[in-house]
Structures are given as structure tokens and as C-alpha cells.
A and B are shown apart, each in its own frame.
Chain A
Amino acid sequence: MSTAPSNDTESMEVDPVFLNAKREAWVILGLWVVALLWSVPYCYLNGFQTGLNPETVETTMGIPSWVFWGIAFPWVVADLFTIWFSLFYMKEDDLGVAHEGEDLAEEIAEMHAKQDATTAGGNES
């Protein structure tokens, strides 16, 4: 890692929450791609047609078959995957305590340091 901090490497390690979250994000992106590659081509190949004969419409459980296999069924699969993924695959990480007001406090301290520096500089001259 070119950007790894040079000092203190002994006592520091890459945050496991970051690593877990990153791995999970890749899996989710993969799921999105799979959903896209399943639904859109399937629906396009089976659900976009001209000259449909109303008497011979194919349905599955009352739904047009292309909707059933292209949307409804993958939807259920995606839900099952989502449930498995979030309950069993996602790591239960400790997100740490909230440092309420810390960002503001740091800036206020910096601001004062700067003001002190300028007043000190002014005194010298």
C-alpha cells in the first residue's frame, strides 16, 4: 500500500470494518449485475413481441409468463439472496462510538491556534 501511513505501523492495522464493508460492496455490485443480466435480456427476448395472438397467451399463475420468469421469480430469488446475505454473510462489525462535536472542536482549536499565532506575530513586529 503506497498510501499506508509510515509511522506507527506497528500498532496500527487496516480497519477490518473497512475491509468487510468493501468486500460486501463488491458482492452487492455483483448481485446488481446478475439481476440486470437476468431480467432485461430475458424480458427483451420473451416479452417484446409483435403479432401476439390473444387466444394463446402463456401465463404462469395468472401472470404473463415473461413477467413471471423475467421479474417475479428473480425478485423472489433476489429477496432470498438479500436475506441470506444480510443475516449470514454480512459481518456484524462494531461501528465505534460517535465522536459528537469532535470535527467542530478540532476546527475551533485550529482557528484559535491561528488567531494566537497572528496576535503573537503582531506583538513581535
Chain B
Amino acid sequence: MFAASGSDAALVTFLIYTAAVFVLAALSNRLLKSKNFVSEYFLGSRGLGVWAFALTFAATSSSGGSFTGFPSKIYTHGWILALWIGSYMVVPICTMGFIGKRLNQVARRSGSITVPDVCRDRFNSPVFGLMAVSLIVFFMSFNLVAQFKAGSLILQTLLEGVTLFESTADGLSQAVSGIPFLSSAESPEYLLCLLVFGIAVILYTTYGGFHAVVWTDVMQGIVMVVGVIIMLPLAISQAGGLDNTTRLMAKMTPPRISAAEKGGITLTLDKPSQETVIIDAGTWITDEPIADQKIPLLFRVTRATEIPAGETTVNEVKVLQLTTLDDIERILGRKERENFLNDVSVSNIDLKAYAYGEEGSQQGTYLVGPGPSASSSSGFLPLSLAISFFFMWAISGTGQPANMVRLMAFRDTKTLQRSICTVAIYYTLIYFPLVVIFCCARVLLPGMEGDSDRIMPAMAVFLTENIGMGWLAGLLVAAPFAAVMSTVDSFLLLISSAWVRDVYQRNINPEASEKTIKLLSYLATFVVGTAAMLVAVNPPKFLQDIIVYVGSGLAASFLAPIVYGLYWRRINAAGAMGAMIGGFAVHLAMYVAGYFVNGSFFKPYQLFDFDPIIIGLFVSFISGYIVTKVTAPPPDELVQKYFYTTKTKA
């Protein structure tokens, strides 16, 4: 019921938003005519000012996960997410300040445009440059496919229930039914979203280059922060104040859930129906309490099912059961507004408890560490993981090539200084408030665990409908979409710059004319984007795991060589390669070991309980140091070029 008007608003917002993106791309394209093409197309002519630089940096780092996965985690595990995200208090200063100034200077001095360019020029080593470009293309291509999928899923979530969208999707599925590749997509809705999202991103990125990406990032960044700032007071006031929220959360106990393969509940209709009874996911079901218990029974369907016409019973319905009295009373108290299946009784309840969080000694689990967990008996965030996440965000963020490219694009030191402040304030306004908002969501919208990825749009619609401003939901749900779009466009440009600049211009044909390079840049961006989009039609499984693997793998490979290259005069090409190979190999080895020890590549082996990123970084820095020490010092000219300057007259 509420979903409908909120989603229509989402469609309108999406259309306005897309139109704005194309206007920005057209403006950017005009800039391409006047300047050095490669530098402008891939690096914005190193002229980014405070707002552009700060917001493109912030928006690129916060991918779709910030507005889907993160809210879903807060909702599912409670206040412990404050510690999980805690290191964001130092993320801006670490990721921008640690290497920003020096990387920008070195890139200017050599004329480098891409990260592999920096690697190659700083050590005057084409081999090292090629190694860097291979790793970037390898890692980022996986990531691009994953982000395309994520973007389509978010768009699909937002547009669910819009009539025009559903009918277009049906039309599309008929249109492609004869085409073997396209018709095998997950669902027509997914395919439609992928095509719309993919084509929009590919076109504006191809046409406008770096400045288009940056300007759309600025717009996307503003949408994100405005969304959060509007939601925060609404969420707190509707939940009855923050103190009330926390006290209610202290009494919450995790739901009972059905196992994926077997179990659930049996539903019996009071009398058989003439038509098939369709039971959607999200439907509530209630029944009289079991004899010796005071708490009323309240279930929510997590997987859609149906009762055929003329029959009365369906077995093994997948549900979750609420166990907190306050939550149950709140839902029963607004029965008219919620979707209930009436005249039905429940039997054969076969549900399981959370692995951590339900026992009496674990009372108040939504308020304290390690937080409830459905699958792990040591809870959501044990100490070793909390430490790993402190590394993960601050240190591995510094090692991301997509962030490094941005550090090469700001105009001057003043811009960097002000941008660090801007991003610090920006992240403070986004990440901590998100924790508060989605803790409130536990009180306002109980029983969303089965579909917690939709908690952001669900909250947006709920909060705005309550104050009679449903149209506002459109703006709020645009935030996750903006977040993923701003990540995809940056990754796309990063890969195409690798092909054009690092592979073609620097290795195959250095003397290519400006016209050829221009044509190739447009072509490469378009082809890379289209290829990624086509792969995403039937995406490989484990995408979320791939994103994690890629993020930490890039940091383990790139952070040490870049930091050494910027700050250590003695480092030579061999040492830098040693650091890169060492980090990459050990990080990969942890995942391969996971395959043998834990039975899956994506359950990496955790040496001393630490995430592979920590071990990878450690080995990378050590191996870089050792290899450098046992090999000859770098040539004087290189040291002189990057570490010395002509004496200024006193």
C-alpha cells in the first residue's frame, strides 16, 4: 500500500536524476575540446577545486553498499555497527592526507595520468608499469561487473511495484524471449534495470570523461547527504526519541528463522478458497498464543508461496517469527496498515534460533558486542574482526587505485587541505547518523530481517508517508542509487584509461596522434562498459565476496609500493615489484588456503584470526623492504628527479 506512491516518486526522481546527469556530461564534453585530451579525459587536467575534489572522493569511496548493505547490517545486528564503522572517524585524513600531497606532486613532475603511469615513471620501469596495469585490469574488471549488478539490483528494489516499470519489464521479456543470451537473465525486471542503468552510465561516462564523472559525483554526493539529513530527525522523532529507541532495543531478542532447506510453518485456511491464495513475501500471520506462553504468535513470510484453489493447507512456509513482545504489540496495533493474511491457523512450527543472541545470558544483544548473528556462535563482531575492520576502512581505502587517481587530480595544496576537512564533516554527517537511523528502523519496522536489503527504501517510504509527504521518498531512495552510480563511473574510467594510456599509448604506439587517442578513449570506455554490462546479464555468483576480495587485494598489492615510492629514497624497481608481488601473492594464498581448509575460496584462511588484508599488507611492506636492501640502489637521476629540487636563493 505505501509502496505504490513512494515508488512512483522513485520513478520520477530517477528520470529527473538521469536527465541531470546527461546535462552534466554534455557540459564536460565541451571542456574536452580545449585542453590536452588524455589529461582532461582521464584526469580532469589536474584542476579539481575543493567541492569537486572532496565530493568525488567521498562519493567514489561510498559504493552502493553504504546505502544497502550497511543499513541492512545495522538493522540486523544493532548498535555494534557503530564499532564496525568506527574507523571512518579517521578515514578522510588517512585516505587523502597520507599520500595525497606527495602523490600529486610526483604525478605532476613525471606527467603521469594513471596509477600505472606513476609506477612506471617513478621507477623508470616499463615492466613494473605493466605489472600494475595487469593487476588493475584483472581486479577492476571483476569489480565493475559486480557493481553493475549491484546498481541494477538497487534500481530494481526502488522501482518495485511501479506499474509502468512492471509492464515495460514484461514487454522486454517477450521481446528478448528469442535471444538466447538475454533471455537467460535472472528476471525481466533485473534485465530492464541493468540495461537502463548500464546504458545511462556508459553513455555519460564515455561522452564526458573525467569531468562528467566528477560533476555527477558531486550531485550524487549532495543527494546522499541531504537524504541522510532529512531522514535522521524523522526517524528519531517517529521512534519516540533516541533514548526510547535504545531502551526498546535493549529488550529485543532476535527472531526465530526458518532454515533454507527444510522447516518453516504449516498454514491452514479456516475454509477452502475458490481461487488460489497467493501469499507474498512480507505478509504477516498471527495466531493465538501456544497454551503455556504469554507472547502472541506473529510470523512474517520470507518467501512467497500459495495455497491452490480448493485446498486449505500449505506446508513448510518460510517465515520468521518475532520474539519481542513490544514489537509484536506494535505490529498488531497497526493491523489495518499492514498486510495480514486473515482466517488462517498455524501449526508444525519448525524454526531455529540465532546462533548467537537468544540465550538468556546474551540478553540485550542488539545493544552490546559482539552483536547477534544467525550463523556464527561467536557473534557478529568478535574482537579480532573489530581490529581487522579498523585496518580495512582506513588503510585499505588508502590503497585503492580509484582513490589514488583522484589524489592526482586536485589543483593545489590548499584544495587538498580544505577537502580533507570537507570529507571529514561529510562522512560524519553520513555514517554515524546512518547507524542511528537504522537502529530506529528496528523499532519502527520490526520483522524486516528476511528482506533487510530493502530496509532503506522501506524506511524512506514509511517515514515520509507518516508525515504526509510521500513524494520526498523519491529523493531519499535516490541516495543508494547515486552511491552506486558514482562508483561505477569511476571504475569504468579507471579500466579504460588502463587500456588506452597504459597499454596502447605507452607500450604499443607512443607516437599515436591526438586524434587516434581521442577515438580510442571513447571507444575503450564504451567497449569496456558494454562488455561488463553483458557479463552482468548472467553474473557469476558470490558477487559480494568478489567485491571484498578485490578491495582488499588491490590494497595489499598497491599500498606498499606506492608509499615506498613516495617516501623512501632507497627503494628501487625490484623492491617495488617485490612489494607488489608479495602482497598480491600472500593475499591470494590466504584465499586459496581457505579453499582447502574451509572448503570455499571465499572463506579465506585467517592466520592468527586476522583478515587476509592485514597479512597481505604486512608481507607486502616486509618483502618490499628486504628486496630493496639486497639489490642495488636506484639510479641517481631518479632519486634526484623525485626527491630533490633546485635550491631556492636564500
Contact = CB atoms under 8 A, between A and B. Distances in A.
Interface of A: 1-8, 11-18, 20-22, 24-25, 28-29, 31-32, 35-36, 39-40, 43-44, 47-54, 57, 59, 61-64, 66-67, 70-72, 74-76, 78-79, 81-83, 85-87, 90-104, 107-108, 111
A21 to B, nearest CB: 4
Contact of B363 (A20, A48, A52): A52
Given A43-B369, A83-B424, 10 more contacts: A12-B640, A35-B89, A52-B363, A67-B79, A70-B82, A86-B93, A92-B414, A98-B111, A103-B117, A108-B511
Contacts of B80: 47
Nearest to B428: A79
A5 B98 contact: no
Q: Find the residue from B88, B92, B101, B640 having the highest chain A CB count within 10 A.
A: B101
Nearest to B571: A3
Given A82-B92, A99-B111, A100-B111, A62 B117 contact: no
A32 B102 contact: no
Interface stretch (B193-201, B245-253, B608-616): B245-253
8 contacts: A31-B94, A40-B86, A47-B369, A53-B364, A54-B363, A62-B246, A66-B368, A102-B110
B79 A59 contact: no
A57 B364 contact: yes
Given A71-B83, A75-B89, A25 B108 contact: no
**B93, B107, B510, B646 pick with most chain A CB within 10 angstroms:** B93
B183 to A, nearest CB: 46
A109 B93 CA distance: 40
A91 B413 contact: yes
A82 B646 contact: no
Contact of B636 (A6, A29, A76, A92): A6
B83 A17 contact: no
A90 to B, nearest CB: 5
Contacts of B46: 98
B111 A1 contact: no
B432 A101 contact: no
B412 interface: yes
A96 B412 CA distance: 9
A94 B244 CA distance: 53
B506 interface: yes
B362 interface: yes
Contacts of B112: 103
A104 B111 contact: yes
A21 B637 CA distance: 21
Contacts of A59: 243, 246-247
Nearest to B410: A95
B364 A52 contact: yes
Contacts of B364: 52-54, 57
